[in-house]
């Protein structure tokens, strides 16, 4: 649970009483004195107000709960810098060229022939691939995506069902749920007029299903919340009453994600339940909050937060925002060496994006960024041409041996473009969806910088004026963000800047003039003022080197600085073992020692952990060589901490005594490290 400082709490309490917090002494307008009178206001709020609806962008339609934050149409946000780099690498890498590799995207696919089978793989890929095209404004990708979607349109039957006929035979709606997301994006990006009637007919089909045939079993039952979101999406555009009835039925027929996500009862049933599958958890955990929009019962939001806490306290005692589920969460397997599936990373990021829009609360953005910056990059090779199934906070060998204590046997951590069927397709939507959520419209006709990355947004604010805001930053590797506002005329609107939980204190300067007060973490700083063309805002953070102690895991420690967690830099030996010359598969083996404990005082880590190097992020900053932020720390080898097979041994309980000499070690951002020790034993004696 996020905790506000007492001062922030007092401020928030005063705000809930309807007071506006004015920073004294602030408000002198930029430009020529006396040109016009402007007032400036800044406040700290937990979430944007949701009393009204944004007048420019489709928001929740009554009786659904009002939306504090609203997605902008795809294409409104243009990524820049390192984020654009990821998307361009995707275009030239696995996602952009997957039809060369995947047998599920070849001529025999049921999504092409409209005969026989055709399950989740094609739509998993298309969901990310098409959005990649819209975000990059790439005509080639957009045209190819349209060909696939044209086939889906063509497949619609008299009663509204669509897709390969085997899915109908199996009463399986799951693969279609993914296509629904693709169609929503198509509509948002291009306004394709076929989408609304197509979805309406499909939901009429779903509504006509007898209860027993609506989400009867299996993945679709566990993942019904995806379908639910699409029903709300359409309802907000058409207002047809049957959709809310269908939504209620879908939620009732979806597996129960309100119950405690980890419990003795589920521990006993885990082999058969599907509730312990990592990917299902990352999706299902948000569904009560999705239904909250209709129930308007606060308990549905509280249950999600309760379950997030339960999950992370049992299996998420590790840096990087993920939890150990090397297929399923498993009792007794909470060590940071247990991996998280790549699918679960992109799905968890998406759940946080959805929760951010539903609640407006910044903690969901913090959680999304934590995965995006620390876990997702290491799931792929730096050229984004290969990936692996499992990534762990402590992962000392990405080999193909299978000598790892994971639930599944076989190759799971080597990097291979030809393998890992679901992740190979599903990884595609991670970065494009992240880019689509950097900026959100607020209910009070302003804009929120919700997730931070270099970008530019063009959007309507206030009464309809179109503004363009550029966001220049090296974040998450840099400590400040520069916003420049472009507007054809002076316009007054609220600009919400997220102050992440880790920030402690932050500072804002407008047109070079610092605000006198520091802002406290965990909420938004809202600047409501008359904005002029060329106005500049700088948001500065002052991240400290911090230690998180994992008490449940032998008092092991992890180091963070701002949004980044840090890993021991382990020399990587890359060995090609398969694939083709164009699409090779690699093992990465450790070429330097990994079994270090850190020598530090968790209460004052800055005495032994130092910032040792910084550089501007390259197009691909997530490599060991390109790491834009480097720390040095004091450490000792721990000879008793040995590999088990190719896996690091379970982390020893600390403080650990070591007779080895103290050494200086290099720490790099976890997202830059494919071989990693990011949870360390604490060495005794300091
Ligand atoms: Zn997967």
Q: What is the pLDDT of residues 602-655, one digit of tens each?
A: 999 999 999 999 999 999 999 999 999 999 999 999 999 999 999 999 999 989
Q: What is the mean pLDDT of the chain?
A: 93
pTM: 0.94
- The pLDDT assigned to 270 comes to 66
Residue among 124, 86, 100 nearest 424 (CA): 124
Cα-to-centroid distance, 671 and ligand 1 (Å): 19
Cα-to-centroid distance, 343 and ligand 1 (Å): 4
Cα-to-centroid distance, 339 and ligand 1 (Å): 12
Cα-to-centroid distance, 375 and ligand 1 (Å): 14
- The pLDDT assigned to 40 comes to 59
Cα-to-centroid distance, 412 and ligand 1 (Å): 11
Cα-to-centroid distance, 347 and ligand 1 (Å): 10
Token pair in block for residue 136: 């990059």
Cα-to-centroid distance, 316 and ligand 1 (Å): 19
Cα-to-centroid distance, 138 and ligand 1 (Å): 26
> Angle between the 174-190 and 224-238 helix axes, to the nearest 10 degrees?
30
State mean pLDDT over 563-584. Answer: 98
* In the chain, % of residues over pLDDT 70: 94
Cα-to-centroid distance, 408 and ligand 1 (Å): 13
Per-residue pLDDT tens over the stretch 376-385: 999 999 999 9
Per-residue pLDDT tens over the stretch 54-93: 999 999 999 999 999 999 999 999 999 999 999 999 999 9
Cα-to-centroid distance, 392 and ligand 1 (Å): 15
- The pLDDT assigned to 479 comes to 97
- The pLDDT assigned to 184 comes to 98
Cα-to-centroid distance, 264 and ligand 1 (Å): 27
- The pLDDT assigned to 29 comes to 28
Cα-to-centroid distance, 151 and ligand 1 (Å): 25
Cα–Cα distance between 43 and 52 in angstroms, integer?
A: 19
Cα-to-centroid distance, 389 and ligand 1 (Å): 6
- The pLDDT assigned to 9 comes to 39
Cis peptide upstream of residue 469 (ω within 30 degrees of 0): no
Cα-to-centroid distance, 520 and ligand 1 (Å): 38
Cα-to-centroid distance, 303 and ligand 1 (Å): 26
Cα-to-centroid distance, 152 and ligand 1 (Å): 24
- The pLDDT assigned to 14 comes to 35
For the chain, the helix, strand and coil percentages under 3-state DSSP, each to the nearest 5: 35, 25, 40
Confidence of residue 124 (pLDDT cuts 50, 70, 90): very high
Cα-to-centroid distance, 537 and ligand 1 (Å): 40
* In the chain, % of residues over pLDDT 90: 89
Cα-to-centroid distance, 288 and ligand 1 (Å): 23
Which residues lie across from 676 on neighbouring strands?
395
Confidence of residue 481 (pLDDT cuts 50, 70, 90): very high
Cα-to-centroid distance, 423 and ligand 1 (Å): 3
State mean pLDDT over 651-667. Answer: 96
Cα-to-centroid distance, 548 and ligand 1 (Å): 29
- The pLDDT assigned to 272 comes to 61
State mean pLDDT over 305-331. Answer: 97
Cα-to-centroid distance, 61 and ligand 1 (Å): 34
- The pLDDT assigned to 599 comes to 97
- The pLDDT assigned to 589 comes to 98
Burial 49-62, CB ≥16 within 10 A → b, else e: ebeebbebbbbbbe
Give the number of other Cβ atoms within 10 Å of residue 464's Cβ. Answer: 10
pLDDT at 422 over 60: yes
- The pLDDT assigned to 519 comes to 81
pLDDT at 331 over 50: yes
Cα-to-centroid distance, 159 and ligand 1 (Å): 32
Cα–Cα distance between 224 and 248 in angstroms, integer?
A: 11
Rg (alpha carbons) of the chain, rounded to whole number: 25
Per-residue pLDDT tens over the stretch 21-55: 333 222 222 222 222 223 458 899 999 998 889 99
Per-residue pLDDT tens over the stretch 267-315: 887 666 799 999 999 999 999 999 999 999 999 999 999 999 999 999 9
Cα-to-centroid distance, 425 and ligand 1 (Å): 8
Cα-to-centroid distance, 428 and ligand 1 (Å): 11
Cα-to-centroid distance, 340 and ligand 1 (Å): 10
Cα-to-centroid distance, 234 and ligand 1 (Å): 28
Cα-to-centroid distance, 455 and ligand 1 (Å): 29
State mean pLDDT over 559-569. Answer: 98
- The pLDDT assigned to 432 comes to 98
Confidence of residue 95 (pLDDT cuts 50, 70, 90): very high
Cα-to-centroid distance, 55 and ligand 1 (Å): 39
Cα-to-centroid distance, 645 and ligand 1 (Å): 24
Cα-to-centroid distance, 400 and ligand 1 (Å): 17
pLDDT at 554 over 50: yes
Cα-to-centroid distance, 422 and ligand 1 (Å): 4
State mean pLDDT over 653-681. Answer: 97
Cα–Cα distance between 210 and 495 in angstroms, integer?
A: 48
Per-residue pLDDT tens over the stretch 130-154: 999 999 999 999 999 999 999 999 9
User: Are the C-beta atoms of residues 488 and 533 closer than 8 Å to each other?
Assistant: yes
State mean pLDDT over 650-678. Answer: 97
User: Are the C-beta atoms of residues 426 and 124 closer than 8 Å to each other?
Assistant: yes
């Amino acid at each position: 649970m996020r905790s506000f400082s007492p001062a922030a709490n007092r401020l928030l309490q005063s705000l809930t009483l309807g007071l506006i917090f004015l920073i004294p002494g602030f408000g002198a307008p930029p430009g020529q004195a006396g040109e016009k009178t402007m007032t400036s206001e800044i406040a700290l709020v937990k979430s944007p107000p949701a009393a009204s609806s944004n007048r420019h962008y489709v928001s929740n339609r009554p009786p659904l709960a009002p939306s504090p934050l609203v997605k902008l149409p795809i294409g409104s946000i243009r990524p820049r810098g390192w984020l654009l780099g990821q998307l361009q690498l995707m275009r030239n890498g696995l996602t952009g060229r997957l039809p060369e590799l995947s047998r599920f995207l070849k001529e025999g696919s049921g999504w092409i022939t409209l005969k026989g089978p055709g399950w989740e793989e094609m739509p998993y890929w298309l969901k990310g691939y098409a959005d990649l095209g819209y975000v990059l404004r790439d005509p080639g990708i957009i045209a190819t995506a349209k060909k696939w979607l044209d086939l889906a349109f063509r497949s619609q039957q008299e009663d509204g069902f669509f897709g390969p006929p085997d899915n109908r035979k199996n009463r399986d709606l799951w693969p279609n749920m993914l296509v629904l997301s693709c169609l929503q994006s198509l509509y948002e990006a291009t306004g394709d007029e076929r989408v609304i009637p197509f979805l309406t007919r499909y939901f009429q089909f779903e509504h006509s299903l007898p209860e027993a045939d609506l989400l009867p079993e299996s993945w679709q039952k566990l993942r019904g919340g995806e379908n639910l979101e699409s029903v709300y999406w359409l309802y907000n555009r058409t207002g047809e009453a049957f959709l809310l009835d269908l939504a209620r039925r879908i939620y009732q027929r979806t597996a129960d994600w309100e119950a405690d996500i980890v419990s003795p009862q589920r521990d006993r049933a885990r082999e058969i339940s599907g509730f312990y599958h990592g990917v299902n958890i990352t999706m299902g955990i948000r569904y009560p909050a999705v239904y909250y929009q209709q129930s308007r019962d606060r308990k549905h939001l509280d249950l999600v937060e309760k379950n997030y806490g339960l999950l992370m306290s049992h299996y998420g005692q590790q840096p990087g925002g993920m939890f150990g589920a090397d297929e399923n969460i498993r009792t007794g397997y909470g060590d940071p060496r247990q991996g998280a599936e790549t699918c679960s990373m992109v799905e968890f990021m998406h759940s946080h994006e959805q929760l951010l829009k539903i609640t407006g609360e910044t903690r969901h953005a913090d959680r999304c960024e934590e995965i995006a910056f620390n876990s997702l990059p290491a799931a792929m090779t730096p050229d984004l041409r290969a990936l692996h199934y499992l990534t762990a906070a402590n992962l000392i060998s990405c080999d193909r041996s299978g000598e790892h204590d994971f639930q599944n046997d076989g190759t799971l951590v080597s990097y291979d473009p030809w393998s890992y069927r679901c992740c190979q397709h599903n990884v595609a939507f991670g970065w494009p969806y992240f880019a689509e959520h950097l900026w959100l419209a607020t209910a009070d006709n302003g804009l929120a910088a919700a997730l931070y990355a270099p970008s530019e947004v063009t959007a309507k604010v206030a009464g309809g004026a179109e503004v363009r805001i550029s966001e220049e930053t090296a974040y998450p590797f840099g400590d400040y963000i520069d916003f420049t506002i472009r507007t054809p005329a002076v316009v007054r609107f609220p600009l919400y800047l997220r102050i992440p939980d880790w920030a402690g204190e932050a500072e804002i300067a407008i047109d070079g003039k610092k605000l006198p007060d520091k802002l406290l973490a965990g909420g938004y700083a809202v600047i409501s003022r008359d904005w002029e063309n060329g106005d500049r805002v700088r948001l500065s953070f002052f991240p400290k080197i911090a230690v998180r102690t994992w008490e449940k895991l032998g008092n092991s420690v992890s180091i963070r600085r701002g949004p980044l967690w840090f890993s021991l830099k382990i020399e990587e030996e890359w060995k090609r073992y398969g694939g083709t010359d164009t699409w090779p598969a690699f093992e990465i083996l450790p070429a330097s020692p990994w079994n270090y404990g850190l020598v530090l005082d968790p209460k004052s880590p800055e005495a032994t952990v130092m910032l040792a190097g910084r550089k501007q992020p390259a197009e691909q900053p997530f490599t060991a060589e390109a790491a834009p932020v480097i720390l040095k720390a004091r450490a000792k080898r721990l000879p008793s901490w040995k590999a088990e097979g190719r896996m690091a041994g379970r982390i020893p309980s600390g403080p650990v005594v070591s007779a080895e000499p103290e050494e200086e070690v290099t720490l790099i951002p976890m997202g830059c490290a494919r071989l990693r020790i990011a949870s360390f034993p604490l060495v005794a004696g300091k």
